[in-house]
Structure 1
Amino acid sequence: MPLTVSTGHHSVAGLRPRNEDFVGMVTPGEPELSCKGMVLAVADGVSGNEGGREAAEYVVRGLLTDYYATPDTWEVTTALDKVLVAMNSWVQQQGSVRRELAGMATTMTSLVLRGRMYYSAHVGDTRCYLLRDDELQKLTQDHVWDRPEMQHVLTRAIGLDSHLVIDHGMGELRVNDVFLLVCDGIWASLTEYDLTDYLKQVSTGKLGSEAACEALCTAALKAGSQDNCSAVIARIDSLPEGELRDAISELHALPVPPRLKPGQTLDGYAIEEVMHTSQTTVLYRVSEPFHHRQLVLKTLHPDKANDVQERSAFAHEAWLAKRVVARFFPQVITPDQRNYLYYLSTWHAGASLQQRLEAGQHFTIPEAVAYGGKLVRAIGALHRRSILHRDIKPANVHLGDDDEIRILDLGVAQSGFDSQDGQGNASHSMAGTPSFLAPEQFQGAAPSRSTDLYATGVTLYYLLTRHFPYGEVEPFQRPRFGEATSPGRYRPDLPHWLENVLLKAVARDEADRFETAEEFLLALERGAAHPLPPPQIKPLAQRDPLATWRMLAVLSIVANVLMLYLIIAR
C-alpha cells in the first residue's frame, strides 16, 4: 500500500489590495513518491511593494521544482537546504538589482511527506501544525523579536540576510494525522481551539481538506484579520509498508531470480556489478536507465529459492529497510514493476569501515569521534523505531564519499513489530559476529539496546586500535571476560576522556554501560569539556563471585592441611 494523502489549499487577499501569499504542492506518483516524497509549502511575502508577492511565488515554485531535481542520494534535509539557500541568494540579488523590488523577502514553511516520515523546513512566521489523536501540536517556532512592541518584526526570512538559517523538523507519520500549513493572517486571528476544531472535522471526514482550508480563511476574515489568508491541509489516509504478514505473503509469491552477470537485466534494471555474495543473499549494483541513477538490488541466493524460512527472513529484512527512512540508512526504492523476489535501495559511493581499514586507512582521533557520533545517532534512530540491528561491526557501517555514515544489512535485525504479526526474526538465538557480541549474550541473554550499544563501542574501539577490548572471539568459542584492555595501550595518543567513553561503552557488565544512544552521544560531544570518570575496578568478589568462592575453598583446604600437619608434628 502506498502513501496516500488527502490535500487541499486556499488563499485569498482578504482586505489587502493584493495577495502576497503563495501556496503550492506536488503529489507525484511512483517512483518519485517513494524516493522524494510529496512537498507542500506556504509562503508570505514581505515588502511594501510587489516584491513580496514575487519573492513568495518564486520561492514556492522554485522549491517544488528544484527539490525533485536534486540527487536521489541526498537526504531530504540536505536537498531542502541546498534549494532554499539558492533561493535566498536569488531573492537578495533581485532586491538589490531592481529598485521596485527593494526589500523583497518572504517567510516560508514547507512539509515533505515520504515513506512513513515527515520533514519540515521553516523560516519566518508562517506555521506548521499537526493534529494527532485530537491534540494540536505546533511544529515550528516563529522567527520574530520576543519584545512585546516588536512581535511582528521578523528576525529571519528568505531574502532578509545573506546567511540563511533554516529550522528543520522530522517525525514518524501515523494514519489520520492532519497537517496544517498556515500564514499569520489566519493563526493570528483564530485561536488554537478554532484550528483544532476544523482539523478534527478533517480527521473524522466531516470536512474535506479543500473545504477546511476555505473555511479557515473565511473564519479568519470574519474574526477581523486584516491580512492575506492562506492555508494548506494534508490528511494521512494510508502509509506504506503494511503489516509484516502482508509483506511476507506478497514476496512469497515471487520467484527468486537466477544468478545474474554484468550486462544482463532484471525488470528493466541493468546489472553492472556483483557487489557481494553470501550463503543466503546476493547484492548487485544496477542502473536504472529512466532516472539515470545507480541502485543496489538485493535478492536471495538461488540455492535458497525454496527455503521457506529464508524467504520469510528476507521479506522481514525488506520490510524493516523500508521503515528506516533517515539519512543514516540506504533508502528503499519501490520499483515500477516487480516480477522477482528482491528489493532496491539507493547506492552510495564509498566503502565500509572494514574495507577502509583493510585498505590501510588510518583514522585520526577527530575523525573517529565525528564518525562515532554519526554512528551512535544512527543506532538511536533504529532504537526509536523499535529496531535492534544485532550485527553492528565495521563491515556493516558504510562511510560514503559524502562523509556520511550509513548502517547496512538488516538481515538479522529484530523489531518490536515482529510479535504483532507473528512473523519475522523474533528469535532470541545468538546472532551476529562473536567479537562484537556483549558478554551476557554468551550466557543466553536476549539482544537489547544495550547489546547494540556494546557492539557500537567495540566498533569504535577497533576503528581506533585494530584490536578488540577482550581479544578476538572465534566462532563457537565460549569466552571468559576479564577486564577490558585500555585502548590507550594500543593507541598512546588517545585522550583520557575518549578512553573512558570507550571503556564505558564496552563494559563487561550491562549496568555499567550507556543506557541509551543519546547518553553515549552526549559523552562523545562533551569530550574533554565534561569528561567521564575512569571506570572503577571492582573487587574480585563482585567481578567473579565463583572465583572468589574457589579461592576461599582453596585457602580453607590449605589451612586445614596446615593445622593437621601441626597436630601430627606434635
Structure 2
Amino acid sequence: RFTLAHVGDCRVYRWHADQLQRISDDHVWDQPGMQHVLKRALGLDQHLVVDFLDGELRENESFLMLSDGVWATLGDTAIAAILRDQPDLDSAVQTLVSAAHLAGSQDNASALLVRVEALGESSIGDALIHLQQWPLPPPLKPGQHFEGWQVVEVLGHSQQSLLYRVLDAQQQPWLLKTLPGHLHDDHQAGQSLLSEEWFLRRVAGRHFPEVHAATARQHLYYVMREYPGQTLAEHLQQHGPLPLAQWQDLAERLLRAVGLLHRRQILHRDIKPENLLLGDDGELRLLDFGLAYCPGLSEDQAHLLPGTPSYIAPEAFNGVAPTPRQDLYAVGVTLYHLLTGHFPYGEIEAFQRPRFTTPVSANRYRPDLPDWLEQSLERAVQADPAQRYETAEEWLLVLEQGERRSLSVRPRPLLEREPLKVWRTLALVSLLLNLLLLYLLLHH
C-alpha cells in the first residue's frame, strides 16, 4: 500500500499504463492572480491541516512529485508526453525540469519520480496459505541437519512454543521457533506462529529481531537472528534500578520502537523488561511477538487478556479492545519498574481482580528524580486511558525536550515530597516537648 501526506502546492501524480492521474490538491487561492499564493502551509496558521490518502500499489506504476515551477508551466499533457518518451527515471526528471526552464519558468523547478518494481506480500492471508501445506518439523536433536540448519540445542520448550538454537552455513547463530508436537492440528496456534513472523517482517529494523528469509522451508517454523546480551529484567536483577541517564536513553529508544510498531498498525501487548533485550552491540530490541495484535487481522484474539498482569492496562481487565494507549501503559509500568524496582499500583498476581486508584509517585523510591520526569511517568500510568499519552511520539517529545534540563537536579526537600510525614513528625515532637515541660513544672 501507499500513503500520501500532503500540504502546499507541489503536485503528486500516479503514472501507470501511459495514464497520468493527479492524486493531490493544490492548497492555493482560486482568485485571478492569486493562484500561487498558499492558503495552507507549514507556519501559515496556528494548526496545520494535512491531506491524507492511501491506496493499493500496482506493479510497474510510478509516482511523480512536481513543484509548481514544473506543473504550472508545462501542464498535464506535456508532462504525460515526456513520461512516455523517457522510460528512464533519471532522464525523465531531467527532461521535465529542463522543459520547464525552456518554457520560461521563473519558480522552483523540481521533479521526483519513483517506480514500484515489485510488490511484497499483499496481506497476512498470503502468508497463512502455507498453513495448509506445511507440517510441523519432527523433533530435532543436537548435531542434526534440518533444511540447511545445524541444530545446536533446545533452548526453550513450553505449552505454546518450541525454540531451538541453530547455526547457518556460515556458523552464525539463529533461533528456530516452531510449535510443540501436541499442537500439530491446532490451526489457531499455527496461524499465531505465522502471524508473529509476518509482524516481525513488517517492522524490520534495528529495534526488532531480524527474520531469516528461509526460502527452502518445507515445515511450519520461522527463524530469527540470535543476539548476545541480557534482558532488562536480568539487568535489573543483577545491578538494581537504572541510573537516570541510562534510564532516559533506554526510555527514548523503547518509545521509538513502540512508535514504529503503532505506525505499522501493530500492538505488541506484552511489553515488559523480560521482552526487552539490551544487546552486546548496544542496541535495545523488543522481543516476543507471540501476543501481537493487528486490527482486522487478529479480531478473534481481541477479547483475550494478554500479557503479564502487572503490565496490563486497567481498561483491558474490563474487556476493552486493544489500543495503542494500552501498549503505552505497559511501557510506563516497565520504565517505572526499571527506575524503582516497584510497580505503580503494586504487583498484580494472576487471577487477581485489581483495583486502580492513584499510582504511587516514583520519586518516593527515587528522590533524585526531577519533577518533569516524575510527572511524565505518572501520566503514562494513569488508570484513565484518556489521561495518558495518545502516541509514543508525544511522550518521546516530552523526554527529548526534558533533556535540556539537568538530570543531576538536587532532590526536592523532604517537606515537598512527604509533607504529611514532616508535619506529623513535628507535631509529635512538639507534643513530647510539651509533656516534658509539663512534667518538669509539676515536679518543681
TM-score for both structures, normalised by structure 1 = 0.55
Output aligned runs, 1:59-138, within 5 Å. Answer: 134-135=22-23
- For 2:117 and 2:75, how far apart are their aligned partners in 1? 20
User: Which whole-Å CA distance do the structure 1 matches of 2:396 and 2:319 have between them?
Assistant: 28
Residues in 2 aligned to 1:322 and 1:526: alpha-carbon distance in whole angstroms: 32
Equivalences, count: 359
Are residues 409 and 192 of structure 1, via their aligned partners in 2, closer, same or farther at CA, if it must alter by over 3 Å?
farther
In structure 1, what is the equivalent of residue 219 of structure 2? 340
Q: Which residue pairs with 2:145 in the alignment? A: 265
Counterpart among 262, 269, 274 of residue 395 in structure 1? 274
Q: Partners in 1 of 2:122 and 2:343 — Cα distance?
A: 40
Change (3 A) 1:356 1:333: same
Q: Which runs of 5+ in 1 are unaligned?
A: 1-115, 119-128, 138-171, 226-230, 532-570
- Report how far residue 288 of structure 1 moved: 1.9
Taking a change above 3 Å as real, the CA distance of residues 311 and 200 of structure 1, as seen in their structure-2 partners, is farther
Q: Deviations over 1:445-469 (max 9, x none)?
A: 2221111110000000111111111
Matched residue of 1:262: which SS? coil
Q: Distance in 2 between matches of 1:196 and 1:266?
A: 57
Matched to 2:115, the amino acid is R
CA contact (8 A) 1:375 1:405 kept: yes
Q: Which residue of 1 aligns with 2:122?
A: 242
Residue 428 of structure 1 corresponds to 303
- Alignment partner of 2:347 out of 462, 467, 472: 472
Partners of 1:199 and 1:346 in 2: how far apart? 47
**Counterparts of 1:489-504 in structure 2 under 5 Å?**
489-504=364-379
Distance 1:193 1:477 in 2: 69
CA contact (8 A) 1:274 1:284 kept: yes
Counterparts of 1:341 and 1:398, CA distance in 2 = 26
Corresponding residue to 1:365 among 239, 244, 248: 244
How big is the shift at 1:521? 0.9
- Structure 2 equivalent of residue 178 of structure 1: 62
CA contact (8 A) 2:241 2:340 kept: no
Q: Which residue of 2 aligns with 1:377?
A: 256
Q: Distance in 2 between matches of 1:233 and 1:416?
A: 33
Q: Which amino acid aligns with 1:486?
A: S
Alignment check: 8 A CA contact 1:271 1:284 kept: yes
Counterpart position of 2:334: 459
Alpha-carbon distance change, 273 to 178 in structure 1, aligned in 2, over 3 angstroms: farther
Give the whole-Å Cα distance in 1 for the aligned partners of 2:235 and 2:360: 24
Separation (CA, whole Å) in 2 of partners of 1:178 and 1:294: 40
Deviation at 1:425, TM superposition (A): 5.0
How far, CA to CA, are the matches of 1:208 and 1:415 in structure 2?
A: 43
- TM-score, length-normalised on structure 2? 0.70
d(CA) in 1 for partners of 2:305, 2:215: 38
Contact kept, 8 Å, 1:210 with 1:233, in 2: the verdict is no
- Displacement, 1:262? 3.2
Match of 2:315 in 1: 440
2:182 is the counterpart of 1:303: yes
Distance 1:180 1:494, change over 3 A: same
> Structure 1 residues 264 and 426, CA, compared in 2 at 3 Å: closer, same or farther?
same
- In 2, Cα distance between equivalents of 1:219 and 1:445: 53
Q: Distance in 1 between matches of 2:227 and 2:12?
A: 33
Q: Which residue does 2:87 correspond to in 1?
A: 210
User: Quick check: 1:312–1:424 contact (8 Å CA) kept in 2?
Assistant: no
Deviations along 1:27-63, one digit per CA (max 9) or x if unpaired, are xxxxxxxxxxxxxxxxxxxxxxxxxxxxxxxxxxxxx
In the alignment, the residues of structure 2 paired with residue 528 and residue 405 of structure 1 have an alpha-carbon distance, to the nearest angstrom, of 20
Give 2:132's aligned residue.
252
Q: In structure 1, what is the Cα distance between the partners aligned to 2:86 and 2:200?
A: 32
C-alpha contact (below 8 Å) 2:175/2:226 kept by paired residues: yes
Residue equivalent to 2:165: 285
Q: Map 1:479-490 onto structure 2 (within 5 A).
A: 479-490=354-365
What letter corresponds to residue 217 of structure 2 in structure 1?
R
Counterpart of 2:126 in 1: which secondary structure?
Answer: helix
Q: 1:249 to 1:178 in 2, by over 3 A?
A: same
For residue 414 of structure 1, report the CA deviation from its aligned partner. Answer: 1.1
Please give the alpha-carbon distance, in whole angstroms, between the structure 1 residues aligned to 2:85 and 2:134: 39
1:400 to partner: Cα distance: 1.6
Residue 302 of structure 1 deviates from its aligned partner by 2.2
Of 324, 327, 333, 2:203 maps to 324
**CA 471–188 in structure 1, closer or farther in 2 if over 3 Å, else same:** closer
Shift of 1:492: 2.6
Contact 1:135-1:196 within 8 A present in 2 as well: no
- Greater strand content: 1
Which of residues 498, 501, 507 is equivalent to 2:382? 507
Q: Partner of 2:424 in structure 1?
A: none
* Structure-2 change in CA distance of 1:491 and 1:173 (3 Å): farther
| SS state at 1:284 partner | strand
Q: Is the 8 A contact 1:470 1:481 kept in 2?
A: yes
Structure 1 residue 424 displacement after superposition: 6.4
C-alpha separation in 2, matches of 1:258 and 1:331:
24
Cα 1:189–1:526 change in 2 (3 A) is closer
- Could you tell me which of 404, 409, 412 is aligned with 2:283? 404
Contact 1:265–1:271 (CA under 8 A) maintained in structure 2? yes
Per-residue CA deviation, residues 88-131 of structure 1 (Å, 9 max, x unaligned), is xxxxxxxxxxxxxxxxxxxxxxxxxxxx899xxxxxxxxxx975
Instruction: Confirm or deny: 8 A CA contact 2:2 2:57 kept in the other structure.
Output: no
